[in-house]
Chain A
Amino acid sequence: MPEREVKIPIGPQHPALKEPESFLITLRGEKITDMTVRLGYNHRGIEKACEQRTYIQDMYLVERVCGICSHSHSTCFIQAVEEIAGLEVPKRAIYIRTLIAELERIHSHLLWLGVAGHEIGFDTLLMYTWRDREAVMDILALLTGNRVNYGINTIGGVRRDITPDQIPQILTAIDTLEERTKYYVKVGTEEITLRERLSGVGKLSKEDAIHLGATGPTARASGVDRDTRRDDPYGAYGLLQFEVITDDHCDVYGRTLVRLGELMESYKLVRQILRQLPEGQIMVKAPRKISAGQAISRYEAPRGEDVHYVKANGTEKPERVKLRAPTLANVQVVAHMLKDGYLADTPIVIAAIDPCFSCTDRAVSIMDSNNGQAGTMDWPALRSYSIEWYRKQGTDFSELNRKFRILMESE
């Protein structure tokens, strides 16, 4: 007798997911035969909101695209704006931005390591890495005033300078973290259950990684030698020495090794930046109105490549802003990686791309709960639907609306 197929909903609400997202998994025994991904539970309308705010307000808004790689998004956006405005950002500011970027990468990768441990039931690793992550969070708070959403960028430079007495504190924290990371590398390569759970899971060949457009550590763990920091240098990366970490395991284990390797590279980068930190001012005055033009900016966030497109029309607000977070590129890969896998591997395979769904959601589709038909609604349709819905509930605003209109006309 053939085994019955069972459909399991992972999400929109599920303990494995930190954000609402739906993965509908078809199981035969413990094996996955099919999977569908549904995005769109986290649509926040950020791109549209950007068009209604000034550039400096947009920078803070864009910083809130993601709670982890917040500096990545704000820097990526600001690079595009500065390119359109033709601003010459001071060297010291660029170095400070790069420093914050690398500290952010450290905190993001340590966070990921803990989450990965939790997904495979290794909570001790979660507790240890998140404890150590506090060191880098403290440094970020020291330098910028905030643990996340640093708000250090401004158009034309950075808002805060690094004082000489902060440098030894950063270096001490980096030394501690480097020692701890070496220990995690040891745990990752020697702990038997950890290796058993990670190797051979979520296979993604080099060809598939290129074909499906994976980015960041996910692609690099499949042997794709691609890193925006080196291929299209921005910030101070062109002046710094570092290696791009790749791995040939093509599985979750490889992705873990890549992230651990990148942590070690980040420590090297932070030390270099502090050694080479040039003197000078930290910002130039930026105009409120940005001259017409457009620019695309690329940025290697901890999770992969961020791409921002900004179109300016000569006013103080942008005409169009397009953001692409790395998860959008990587989420296509998940369905491929899960095929013929085990149910038990689902959480770690999803987690291995370091997903950030709320950063990714750019669209929302409306689904009829009766017949499951998906579609879209434009603004007037949505508005009349809501008015009708409230009227059915017994709330009628039409009278109020009429009075309000009379009031507005009389003025």
Chain B
Amino acid sequence: MTGALFNIFIFPGVLFIAAFGLAAEYIDRKLCAMLQNRVGPPWFQPVADFIKLAAKEDVIPQHADSGVFKMMPIIAMTSIITAFVYIPMWSTQALFAFKGDLVVVLYLLTIPTLTYFLGGWYSRSVFSMIGAVRSVTQLFAYEIPLFLSILAPAMLADTWSLSGMSQYYNGHPWAILFNVVGFVIAIVSLMGKLEKVPFDIPEAETEIVAGAFTEYSGRLLALFRLAIDMELVIGASLLAAVFLPFGLHLGPWAGFGLYIVKVLFVIALVSLLRTVFARLRIDQMISFCWKVVAPIAFIQFIADLIIKGIHS
């Protein structure tokens, strides 16, 4: 019982992910600032932002559905934390694992976007509603390439479990080279999922203020922002587990250290990419995802299928 509580609240549960998420936000912002030739925030800035927001009053719009409005940040956070327990961190075995947990993780990672949509939609503000609609429109563009690019390595490993994939790729380290294209696709899709430039269309500041989050304030906004930070970590962890699975058999401490390095590497890639592009328009984003990213992801899928056929 205490073990389970420890897992839920401290490690790898709420406390660890929250701390890691805030640290990841700091690293993302600092790196971005350095790339843009700025000084950037001090290390405690994300924590300070969180405390400041949490201390403020919650303002709920008069016409908003207050139940849905209040619930959405919590659902977003819960689904993200739940997804985390299936990702292998310090060894090839995750805290929990079963056949098909990969599908569950992908499913759980779709929920935050849906909460942004619902939260925005039930805010009953024009800016929130347009942002909400854009989030979902964008969801249909990046989700297919993301699924294809992550399912391709899974198929090569002949398992639908993240832990199983880790075991396979630690046994066959060179097999991961087949999935390099998939990694690139997954990074692009992750940028869409995390709503980072050039895919930050749903929260395009200069057009629709803050998109779905326009009406959020105080604790609810603090929770939403924390959920977004956690999503960054979990997205990076998923990519690290699927595409950079090496070194997990070296023991828990070395494995965990390597895990942190890998996650930071993915976050650094995201930060780099978000500094070098301008925001796309929603129609450009959709056509880019369907005409370029999805076909390449599909080719990766087919390639893995052929390799699998030759290999067996």
* Complexed CA–CA distance, A44 and B208 (Å): 29
* Complexed CA–CA distance, A124 and B36 (Å): 5
CB pair B207–A344 under 8 Å, yes or no, is yes
Interface on B for A, CB 8 Å cutoff?
A: 35-38, 126-127, 129-130, 197-198, 200-201, 204-209, 275-284
Q: From residue 1 to 45 of chain A, which have CB atoms closer than 8 A to chain B?
A: 6-9, 14-16, 27, 30
Contact of A343 among B35, B130, B275, B278 (CB under 8 A): B130
A8-B126, A121-B197 given; A347·B206 CB < 8 A:
yes
**Chain A residues near B276 (CB-CB < 8 A):** 124, 191
**Chain B residues near A345 (CB-CB < 8 A):** 281
CB pair B198–A121 under 8 Å, yes or no, is yes
* Complexed CA–CA distance, A193 and B278 (Å): 5
CB pair A124–B282 under 8 Å, yes or no, is no
Q: How many A-B residue pairs have CB under 8 A?
A: 85
- Whose C-beta in chain A lies nearest to the C-beta of B284? A196
CB pair B209–A344 under 8 Å, yes or no, is no
Q: In the assembled complex, how far is the CB of residue A9 from the closest CB belonging to chain B, in whole angstroms?
A: 8
Q: In the assembled complex, how far is the CB of residue A260 from the closest CB belonging to chain B, in whole angstroms?
A: 16
CB pair A118–B37 under 8 Å, yes or no, is no
A122-B278, A127-B38, A128-B36 given; A16·B206 CB < 8 A:
yes
Interface string of A188-232 (1 = CB under 8 A from B): 000101101100000000000000000000000000000000000
Interface status of A117 (Cβ within 8 A of chain B): yes
With A16-B206, A122-B279, A128-B36 already in contact, 13 other A-B pairs whose C-beta atoms are closer than 8 Å: A6-B129, A8-B127, A14-B209, A27-B130, A121-B206, A121-B278, A191-B276, A191-B277, A191-B278, A196-B281, A342-B282, A344-B282, A346-B207
- Whose C-beta in chain A lies nearest to the C-beta of B33? A127
Q: In the assembled complex, how far is the CB of residue A362 from the closest CB belonging to chain B, in whole angstroms?
A: 27
A119-B206, A121-B206, A344-B204 given; A194·B278 CB < 8 A:
yes
CB pair A124–B35 under 8 Å, yes or no, is yes
**Chain A residues near B129 (CB-CB < 8 A):** 6
* Complexed CA–CA distance, A345 and B201 (Å): 12
CB pair A193–B38 under 8 Å, yes or no, is no
CB pair B277–A122 under 8 Å, yes or no, is yes
Interface status of A120 (Cβ within 8 A of chain B): yes
* Complexed CA–CA distance, A128 and B279 (Å): 17
Q: In the assembled complex, how far is the CB of residue B1 from the closest CB belonging to chain A, in whole angstroms?
A: 49
Contact of A347 among B38, B197, B207 (CB under 8 A): B207
* Complexed CA–CA distance, A193 and B127 (Å): 24
Q: In the assembled complex, how far is the CB of residue A88 from the closest CB belonging to chain B, in whole angstroms?
A: 48
**Chain B residues near A346 (CB-CB < 8 A):** 207
CB pair A197–B281 under 8 Å, yes or no, is yes
10 tightest Cβ-Cβ pairs between the two chains A and B: A121-B279, A122-B278, A16-B206, A127-B36, A347-B206, A193-B278, A344-B281, A193-B277, A120-B278, A124-B275
CB pair A121–B200 under 8 Å, yes or no, is yes
CB pair A123–B206 under 8 Å, yes or no, is no
**Chain B residues near A119 (CB-CB < 8 A):** 206
Q: How many residues of A contact B (CB 8 A)?
A: 32
Interface status of A48 (Cβ within 8 A of chain B): no
Contact of A196 among B35, B36, B127, B280 (CB under 8 A): B280
A7-B126, A124-B35, A127-B36 given; A343·B207 CB < 8 A:
yes
**Chain B residues near A391 (CB-CB < 8 A):** none
Q: In the assembled complex, how far is the CB of residue A68 from the closest CB belonging to chain B, in whole angstroms?
A: 19
CB pair A15–B209 under 8 Å, yes or no, is yes
- Whose C-beta in chain A lies nearest to the C-beta of B280? A193
* Complexed CA–CA distance, A347 and B284 (Å): 17
CB pair A121–B283 under 8 Å, yes or no, is no
**Chain A residues near B127 (CB-CB < 8 A):** 8
Q: In the assembled complex, how far is the CB of residue B82 from the closest CB belonging to chain A, in whole angstroms?
A: 32
A-B contact pairs, 25 of them (CB 8 A): A6-B129, A8-B126, A8-B127, A9-B126, A15-B206, A16-B205, A16-B207, A30-B282, A120-B279, A121-B200, A121-B204, A121-B205, A121-B206, A122-B279, A123-B197, A123-B275, A127-B36, A131-B37, A193-B279, A196-B278, A197-B279, A342-B283, A344-B281, A344-B282, A345-B281
A8-B130, A343-B130, A344-B281 given; A123·B36 CB < 8 A:
yes
**Chain B residues near A122 (CB-CB < 8 A):** 197, 277-279
**Chain B residues near A193 (CB-CB < 8 A):** 198, 277-280
CB pair B207–A197 under 8 Å, yes or no, is no
* Complexed CA–CA distance, A342 and B279 (Å): 14
* Complexed CA–CA distance, A191 and B275 (Å): 12
- Whose C-beta in chain A lies nearest to the C-beta of B199? A121
CB pair B130–A6 under 8 Å, yes or no, is yes
**Chain A residues near B207 (CB-CB < 8 A):** 16, 343-344, 346-347
Contact of A117 among B198, B209, B278 (CB under 8 A): B278
**Chain B residues near A196 (CB-CB < 8 A):** 278, 280-281, 284
Q: In the assembled complex, how far is the CB of residue A144 from the closest CB belonging to chain B, in whole angstroms?
A: 27
